Structure 1
Amino acid sequence: MRAHLFQITKFAVVGVINTGTFYAIYLSLHPWMPYYPAYVIAFLVSMVGSFFLNTYITYRTKPTWRKFLLFPLTNLTNFVVTSVGVFVLVEWFHVGERIAPLLAAMAAIPVTFVLSRRILTHRDGDAAAPPTEPERVTEAA
C-alpha cells in the first residue's frame, strides 16, 4: 500500500511539472502564433513529456511504441472525467464555476493514475496477461 501511495505522489508531482511545462510552452509560443496553435503544440509537447516522465519516474518501466501510442487515452479519459465532473459539480451541486474545475481535476487523478499505470506497466507482447509489477529500468554502465 505504501508503494502505491508513493507512486500516486510521484504521479501527482509529474502532473504538476507537466502542467507547468505546458503553460510555459504555451506562453512562449503565443506571442509568435495565434492562441489555438500555441495551445495544441504546448499540449502535444507536454503530453510527450508526461509519457516519458511517467514511464521513467512514476512507474520505472521501459517506454515502447505501443505504450506511447496508447498513452493519449489517459488524456482523453482525464478530459472526459473532468468535463463530466465540472458539469455535475456546477449543475447538480451548485459548486462555483471557478472551483469546480479544480475539484474535478482532483477527482480525475485516481482514474487517470489507474489507466496510465495499466498502459505504462503492461508488458508488450503479452496482451492477454494482466499488468504486473513495473519493470526496473537498469542503466548500462
Structure 2
Amino acid sequence: MNLQKYYPLMRFCIVGVVNTGTYYGLYLLFLHVFHLIYLVSHISAFVLSMIGSYFMNTYFTYKTKPSLKKFFQFPLTYVVNVTVTTSSVYLLVDKLGMDENIAPLLASLIAIPFTYVVSKKILVTKPSGSS
C-alpha cells in the first residue's frame, strides 16, 4: 500500500489542527479580551487564520510556491467554509442554545472536506498538457 499519495491529506489535517487552534485562540481573544460580539469575533478570527492557512498550505501541505494570484484565489476556498461555519455558529448558538465558546469548533469540523478539495485545486498547479 502506497501511503505517499495520502501525505498531502495528512499534512492538510495537521495544518487544519494548527489553523483551528489559531482561529479558536483569536476568537476567544476577540470575544473575551476585546469584548466583541461572537459573530464579529468569528469573522475577524476567520480572516486572520485564513491568511495563515494560505501560507501553511502552500509551503507545508502542497509544497508549492506562493504567488499573488494564488493568494487572491485562496479566499475562494473559504466561500463555502465561511458560509457553512458562520451559518453553523449562528444556528448552534442562537437556535440550539449551544455555548458560544464551543460552537465554532463544531462548525469548523463540518467545513473541512470542502476546504481540502477546493484548496488543492487552487494551490496545486498541474503540469502543462495534463488534464
| TM band (smaller chain) | 0.5 to 0.7
Q: Pick closer, same or farther for the CA change 1:70–1:28 going to 2, 3 Å.
A: same
Q: Identify the match of residue 34 of structure 1 among 33, 36, 39.
A: 36
The farther-off stretch of 12-21 and 112-121 is: 112-121
Structure 1: stretches of 5+ with no match in the other structure: 87-97, 132-141
The 3-state SS of whatever aligns with 2:27 is helix
Bigger radius of gyration? 1
> 1:69 offset after TM fit, Å?
0.9
The farther-off stretch of 7-16 and 71-80 is: 71-80
The residue aligned with 1:136 is none
TM-score where L is the length of structure 2: 0.68
Inter-partner Cα distance in structure 2 for 1:130 and 1:71? 22
The residue aligned with 1:75 is 78
The residue aligned with 1:53 is 56
Q: Give % identity.
A: 39
> 1:63 offset after TM fit, Å?
0.7
CA RMSD of aligned residues (A): 3.4
> 1:66 offset after TM fit, Å?
0.9
> 1:67 offset after TM fit, Å?
0.6
Structure 2: stretches of 5+ with no match in the other structure: 89-97, 99-104
User: Structure 1: which 4+ aligned runs deviate by more than 3 Å?
Assistant: 78-83, 101-106, 108-111, 128-131
Kindly indicate whether residue 88 of structure 2 is the aligned counterpart of residue 121 of structure 1: no
Instruction: Give the conservation status (yes or no) of the 8 Å contact 1:122–1:130.
Output: no
